[in-house]
Amino acid sequence: MPRPMPPKVVEALETGVNLVKLWEAADPEAELSRVAGDVGALAVGGHVRVDGPYMERFPRLQLVSSFGVGYDAIDAAWAGGRGLVVTNTPGVLDDEVADTAMGLVLATVRQFPAAERHLRAGRWIDGAFPLSHTLRGRTLGILGLGRIGKAVAHRAEAFGLAIAYHGRRPQEGVGYRYCSSAVALAEACDILVVITPGGADTRHLVDAAVLKALGPSGILINVARGSVVDEAALIAALQSKTILGAGLDVFSEEPEVPQALLDLDHVVLLPHVGSASHHTRDAMGQLVVDNILSWRDGRPPLTPVAETPWRGSYGAPSGSR
C-alpha cells in the first residue's frame, strides 16, 4: 500500500495479508526497493499514479486493487497486456454519486447556496432573494450512460425531466433519446450531467463548442473527472454568460480550484464528495479488501476492469506476498 487508505481497509488487510505500509517507512524509496521483488498485489487510491514503469518495479505483481470506480490513474491497458489484473469498486457507489449529481442539479438551477448566503449575511431583512430558475420543462442530458448515469436518469425522471444521452453507441433496451455526439447532446438538453470515465480518451470532451451548444439557459454538472471538461473554456463560458451556471464536484488540478470559479456566484462547488459518505466509502473499502483476499486465495477477482479480464489465472508468478 503506497499511501494511506481508509483505516478499515488497512486493518482488514493487516489481518489477511503481509501488508507493507510504504508511507510509514523512514525511507519509502529504500523500502520499496527492499520489498518490490516479493510484492504480488497493490492496494491503491486514486491519488497514486500506477503506470507501466511503476508496475515493472514489482516482478511478481499480479493484482492492482483500486479504491474508486474511476481508474484513469492506472495504466490498465499496460497491465492487461501483461496478464495482470486491475480491479475497481463499481456498483457500491452508484446511488451516492447519482444523489450528488441531482443535489448539484437542484442547488445550481434553484441557486440554493446563494440563497443561503443571502440569509446568513442578514440580507433577507433588506429584501427577498431574487427569483430562481426552474426544473420545469427542462431536458437533462447524460454524457456517459453507465451504471451511475442510469441511476441519475432514474432520479431525473422522478423530477419530471426528459432524458437524452450520448455514449460510444446507442444502448439496447434504453428508451432515452440518443445523441450522436457531445455537441448534439448539449444542443438537445438544458442540463448536461457529465459522468463519463476520465483518461486520455475523454480529456476535454466538454470543450468550448459543447458549452456554446448548451447555450445561455444551460447548466453544466460534472461529477466525473475534472479532465473531462476544459476548465479554461468553462470559466470563459461562465464569465461571458454563454451558459447559465455550473455545479462541479471535480476539478482539473485537485485540490486546487481556480480563483475565477470561486469568484462566480452562479457556480456551485463541492470538494469531490460524490461518494463521500461513511456507508459508501466503507463498501468501497471492503471491495478493495475482498478483491485482494480473492487473489490471496487463488480465486477470481470480483470486479476486474474491462482492460484486464479474468482469464482463469493471475498472470505473474506465484509465491508473492
Domain 7-92+278-296 and domain 94-269 have a common topology: yes
Which pLDDT value is given to residue 52? 97
Q: Examine the residue annotation and report whether 225 is marked as an active-site residue of this protein.
A: yes
Q: What is the pTM of this model?
A: 0.91
Q: Examine the residue annotation and report whether 118 is marked as an active-site residue of this protein.
A: no
Which pLDDT value is given to residue 47? 80
User: Mean pLDDT over residues 68-79, rounded?
Assistant: 94
How many Å apart are CA 285 and CA 74, to the nearest integer?
Answer: 18
- The active-site residue, picked from 138, 155, 166, 225, is 225
What is the crossing angle of helices 147-158 and 94-110, to 10°?
A: 50
For 280-316, the pLDDT digits (tens) are 999 999 999 999 999 999 999 999 999 999 999 897 6
Which pLDDT value is given to residue 206? 98
**CATH tag, 7-92+278-296:** 3.40.50.720
- The active-site residue, picked from 110, 204, 266, 272, is 272
Residue 94 clears pLDDT 60, i.e. is over it = yes
Q: Examine the residue annotation and report whether 57 is marked as an active-site residue of this protein.
A: no
Residue 320 clears pLDDT 70, i.e. is over it = no
Give Cα 255 to chain centroid, integer Å.
14
Domain residues of the chain, as ranges?
7-92+278-296, 94-269
User: Mean pLDDT over residues 223-234, rounded?
Assistant: 98
Q: For the ranges 18-27, 46-55, 105-114, 248-257, which has the lowest average pLDDT?
A: 46-55
Residue 168 clears pLDDT 70, i.e. is over it = yes
Which residue has better confidence, 43 or 317? 43
Residue 321 clears pLDDT 60, i.e. is over it = no
What homologous superfamily does CATH list for 94-269?
NAD(P)-binding Rossmann-like Domain (3.40.50.720)
β 139-143/162-166 pair status: parallel
- The active-site residue, picked from 14, 157, 253, 254, is 254
147: CB partners within 8 A, 6+ apart: 90, 91, 94
